[in-house]
Structure 1
């Protein structure tokens, strides 16, 4: 993995909101895989093999007259990533119950303490979607449950479900770096019930789960909800995030057609995280 080169894009955005959220969403659709919000805007990363000179042509917000967005970019060797994210990664505490921190941060006095090295993976808890998914997990029972964390990123959500009592957890991500990073973080947090896999929803063939967590993006979710519903036990929970308030009708319609009923909605800066129950 040490020879993988990333392109780092450094965006300066005025005003910051809601432009940063829109920019991250559009860059995600274009293939960018990791984001760090900064005081001036956002830094976005994409593997150079996935990059082309026209990568930003379809990023509509860059053409908007409502925002002033400028950027520079450079090649970044993956081995230099630690220095990049250490400059930006501050620990967070969610609802005074769960801390997400790096190994070089001091331990918090919280019930749940998760130590991750995100590197190139999405899922530090800082982004609204991860933050809300942590809230959902904190608010629900996972004792002796089987859980799927789809699009696991750093495996932070899978790790928290084990801390909450889940005893059989699969964590899946299509990105090789996320897969490797999840393995590291699972070991770092002394988790014994999590198995990590590299791939997508095609890996879900005959497994059944009490809870499925998927923090990805709207289009992938709409494509895979029917698979999640099939793999979910009766009365099981499906937690979805990675999309906006205005996307709820589309997501809910697809869920309803697969016998999934909306129970709880969390909102944060126009991002949402939904909790469905299988009828």
Structure 2
């Protein structure tokens, strides 16, 4: 099978958004670069019309340039070894791939072998969510991870002592990769579901709900979240810019949450909300 390769140069602030948009139209692998990212899609599943619509939407605002080429099937493990570096969250969390050496001086080590660039910890929103999790007692708690991606936040919850974890994502690729990462981190009893929060329809109340998605989805699903978080429980939100905080917080307040903490990084933001 041959792949099409698109070397995309873009404004850094639009990188994650473009990756998400291209994933929605069939691109299945991404490698971040200094200039932007490389995107890959099997030639037989490429829909040029859908691709063109995405590029046209961001061409001007994201300062886009694209170089398209064709390539043979890629050894993605080899490619990730070339491009994927470990990350740290303070002196507490070390996120690495299985081909990196462990570092025992960190209290929490997470292994992630990502098949695409969602949730590796490199993006500011994932970093911020991990940072917020460190400040919340997960011991013995019931945790829900919405839009789980690689499963990194669910894995963090497990490392922090959560008693019960549920996770799901809308993308089949993420579900497969998330389950592989769960196995790497001693979570074989946890299996990632597929669908939106309304489709999966989690049952009962949760002590902690994690949602690192995007502004529009968070606003649309906020009332659903309000029925999932128990009184005194926490809702952790990210996937939006600093200038969107007011809209997100206002919507959360309207359905029974109060703001407890906020962190920002590289113009992205993450909120901790408490159910009252």
Q: Is the 8 A contact 2:113 2:181 kept in 1?
A: yes
Residue 231 of structure 2 corresponds to residue 234 of structure 1: yes
Q: Which residue of 1 is the match for residue 258 of structure 2?
A: 261
Q: Which residue of 1 is the match for residue 196 of structure 2?
A: 200
1:151: how far off? 0.8
Q: Is the 8 A contact 2:29 2:115 kept in 1?
A: no
Q: C-alpha deviations, 1:60-100, integer Å up to 9, x for none?
A: 54224xx7542223467776322332221000111111111
Residue 217 of structure 2 corresponds to residue 220 of structure 1: yes
Q: Which residue of 1 is the match for residue 13 of structure 2?
A: 21
What is the distance in 2 between the residues matched to 1:39 and 1:83? Answer: 19
What is the distance in 1 between the residues matched to 2:116 and 2:162? Answer: 27
TM-score (norm. length: structure 1): 0.87
Q: Is the 8 A contact 2:21 2:54 kept in 1?
A: no
1:45: how far off? 4.9
- Assess, with a 3 A threshold, how the Cα gap between structure 1 residues 72 and 141 changes in structure 2: closer, same or farther: same
Q: Which residue of 1 is the match for residue 131 of structure 2?
A: 135
Q: Is the 8 A contact 2:15 2:36 kept in 1?
A: no
- Assess, with a 3 A threshold, how the Cα gap between structure 1 residues 255 and 47 changes in structure 2: closer, same or farther: farther
- Assess, with a 3 A threshold, how the Cα gap between structure 1 residues 6 and 116 changes in structure 2: closer, same or farther: farther
1:96 to 91, 95, 101: 91
- Paired positions, count: 269
Q: C-alpha deviations, 1:120-166, integer Å up to 9, x for none?
A: 36111000011111101112110100000111111111011111010
Gaps of 5+ in 2: none
Residue 242 of structure 2 corresponds to residue 245 of structure 1: yes
Q: Is the 8 A contact 1:168 1:193 kept in 2?
A: no
What is the distance in 2 between the residues matched to 1:111 and 1:197? Answer: 29
Q: Is the 8 A contact 2:154 2:167 kept in 1?
A: yes
1:55: how far off? 2.3
1:20: how far off? 1.4
- Assess, with a 3 A threshold, how the Cα gap between structure 1 residues 199 and 94 changes in structure 2: closer, same or farther: same
Q: Is the 8 A contact 2:207 2:234 kept in 1?
A: yes
Describe how 1:1-279 pairs up with structure 2 within 5 A.
Answer: 8-13=5-10, 19-29=11-21, 31=24, 35-45=30-40, 49=45, 51-53=47-49, 55-59=51-55, 60-64=57-61, 69-74=64-69, 80-108=75-103, 109-120=105-116, 122-191=118-187, 194-202=190-198, 203-279=200-276
SS of 2:224's partner is: helix
1:52: how far off? 2.8
Bigger Cα displacement from structure 2, 144-153 vs 80-89: 80-89
Gaps of 5+ in 1: 14-18
Alignment root-mean-square deviation, CA: 2.5
